């Protein structure tokens, strides 16, 4: 394990990529607090916060699945640099507008739309860029470290946000976010990557673009493991909506507690997700793909049904707090197992020439399920209690688990077998080349 992490840090491109991730996450976490405060301060209306939140999600759902062919046939490195600079300019305009008094809610919405559209290009480019930076045998450790460091950085940024805003003001905090985008662009531009083989015909011809776009969807549909990944992503993002949208009712109606339980929930889930990401390479030595997914589902079921089933323990404040703490830890580990498994295996099973297209389609599916589920929850919550919704979520998770046990994991087993066979062939070829040399 330590050898593999040492190998990663001896890779200068990975160090720069990790540093880029750190500065991006720190700036975003500070900006998230400052921006939400600015929007409410300017408008005094919560509805504008909801509108801007929706605007931020739209490009991911609509644009991301369509840009894959274009991204795959342009320099991934250049796309990442340019989109970081676009984001820096937009954030700089926002900070200057606040400082000089011309910032308005519609302008914030427009700038957020441009930023989110740039991110819709950057996401697929980043996914396709990753295998150029990291060797295949280091995927587990690289993604684990990236995820863990991102979480730690977000925690630090969120914790320091209030102090930063108090020290340099909201505009200063947003200028700080602008600086992180510029630093990120410089770090990526500094990386030395071998020249890519690009198909310029796709860029020049609408027909070629549409063919590659169609090929991406056909590739996803024809590869069983990707269909399973899509189902898992839909499940994971959808099943978390009741928790995210009903946190306060869960605490007040089910646990009979107050704001302190919200803090326990947030901290426990965040820390357990962080630990789960760090320990994922260790878990993968003992858990194959099927066991990983089943364990994820089991931990999510435990959280939902445990919240309702442990009702007698909520008679005391400590009973409610300890129960929520343990269940939240289980949930956090479950989420991290599912996320890490998909993020790592995506690079193992997808042909590199399809990475941008597949990641774009996957992002749209993952994000798209959230508003749909939230809309359903908003209707159901008027018809029944929070406890019933928790039980319903647990039952949905159980049914999904039964599907994965009976048929869903067959594709995972087949993909892992094929991956082992291809790795064995690659090792044999490497040994043969060494003998010849």
Q: Which domains does the chain have, with CATH numbers?
A: 12-193 (1.20.1250.20), 214-422 (1.20.1250.20)
Q: What is the pLDDT of residue 79?
A: 93
What is the predicted pLDDT for the residue at 188? Answer: 93
Mean pLDDT (the chain) is 83
pLDDT of residue 361: 84
Give residue 2's pLDDT. Answer: 55
Torsion of CA 212, 214, 219, 222, to 10 degrees: -160
**Distance, CA of 201 to CA of 333 (rounded, Å):** 45
Kindly write down the DSSP assignment for every residue of 162-197, as one continuous string.
HHHHHHHHHHHHHHHHHHHHHHHHHHHHH---PPP-
What does the pLDDT look like over 277-306, one tens digit per residue? 888 888 888 888 888 899 999 999 999 999
Stated pTM of the model = 0.76
Q: Within the chain, which residues score under 50 in pLDDT? A: 425, 429-434, 437
Residue burial 39-61, b: 16+ Cβ < 10 Å; e: rest:
beeebeeeebeebbeebbebbbb
The token pair at 236 is 């994971």
pLDDT of 201: 54
CA dist 315 → 77, 168, 257, 293, 406 (Å): 57, 46, 10, 34, 40
The pLDDT value recorded for residue 58 is: 82
The radius of gyration computed from the CA coordinates of the chain, to the nearest angstrom, equals 23
Other beta carbons less than 10 A from residue 16's beta carbon: 19
d(CA 29, CA 177): 9
């Amino acid at each position: 394990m330590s050898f593999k992490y040492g190998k990663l840090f001896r890779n200068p491109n990975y160090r720069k990529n990790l540093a880029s991730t750190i500065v991006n996450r720190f700036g975003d976490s500070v900006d998230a607090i400052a921006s939400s405060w600015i929007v409410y301060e300017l408008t005094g209306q919560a509805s504008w916060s909801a509108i801007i939140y929706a605007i931020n999600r739209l490009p991911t759902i609509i644009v991301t699945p369509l840009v894959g062919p274009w991204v795959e046939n342009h320099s991934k490195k250049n796309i990442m640099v340019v989109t970081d600079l676009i984001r820096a300019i937009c954030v700089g305009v926002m900070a200057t507008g606040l400082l000089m008094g011309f910032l308005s809610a519609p302008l914030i919405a427009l700038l957020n739309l441009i930023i989110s559209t740039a991110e819709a290009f950057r996401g697929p480019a980043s996914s396709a860029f990753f295998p150029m930076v990291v060797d295949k045998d280091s995927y587990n450790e690289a993604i684990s470290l990236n995820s863990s460091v991102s979480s730690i950085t977000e925690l630090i940024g969120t914790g320091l946000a209030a102090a930063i805003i108090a020290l340099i003001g909201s505009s200063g905090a947003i200028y700080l976010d602008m600086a992180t985008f510029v630093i990120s662009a410089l770090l990526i531009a500094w990386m030395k990557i071998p020249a890519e083989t690009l198909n310029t015909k796709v860029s020049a011809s609408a027909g070629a673009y549409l063919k590659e776009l169609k090929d991406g969807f056909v590739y996803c549909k024809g590869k069983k493991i990707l269909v399973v990944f899509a189902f898992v992503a839909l499940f994971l993002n959808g099943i978390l909506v009741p928790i995210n949208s009903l946190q306060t009712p869960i605490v007040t109606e089910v646990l009979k507690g107050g704001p302190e339980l919200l803090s326990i929930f947030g901290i426990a889930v965040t820390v357990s997700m962080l630990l789960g990401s760090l320990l994922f390479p260790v878990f993968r030595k003992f858990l194959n793909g099927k066991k990983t997914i089943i364990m994820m589902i089991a931990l999510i079921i435990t959280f939902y049904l445990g919240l309702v089933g442990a009702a007698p323990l909520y008679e005391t404040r400590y009973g409610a707090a300890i129960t929520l703490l343990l269940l939240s830890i289980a949930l956090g580990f479950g989420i991290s197992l599912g996320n890490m498994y998909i993020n790592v295996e995506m690079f193992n099973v997808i042909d590199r020439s399809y990475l941008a297209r597949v990641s774009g389609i996957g992002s749209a599916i993952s994000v798209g399920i959230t508003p749909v589920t939230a809309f359903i929850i908003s209707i159901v919550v008027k018809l029944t209690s929070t406890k019933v919704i928790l039980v319903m979520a647990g039952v949905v998770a159980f049914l999904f688990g039964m599907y994965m046990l009976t048929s869903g994991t067959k594709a995972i087993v087949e993909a892992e077998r094929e991956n082992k066979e291809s790795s064995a062939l690659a090792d044999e070829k490497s040994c043969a080349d060494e003998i010849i040399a």
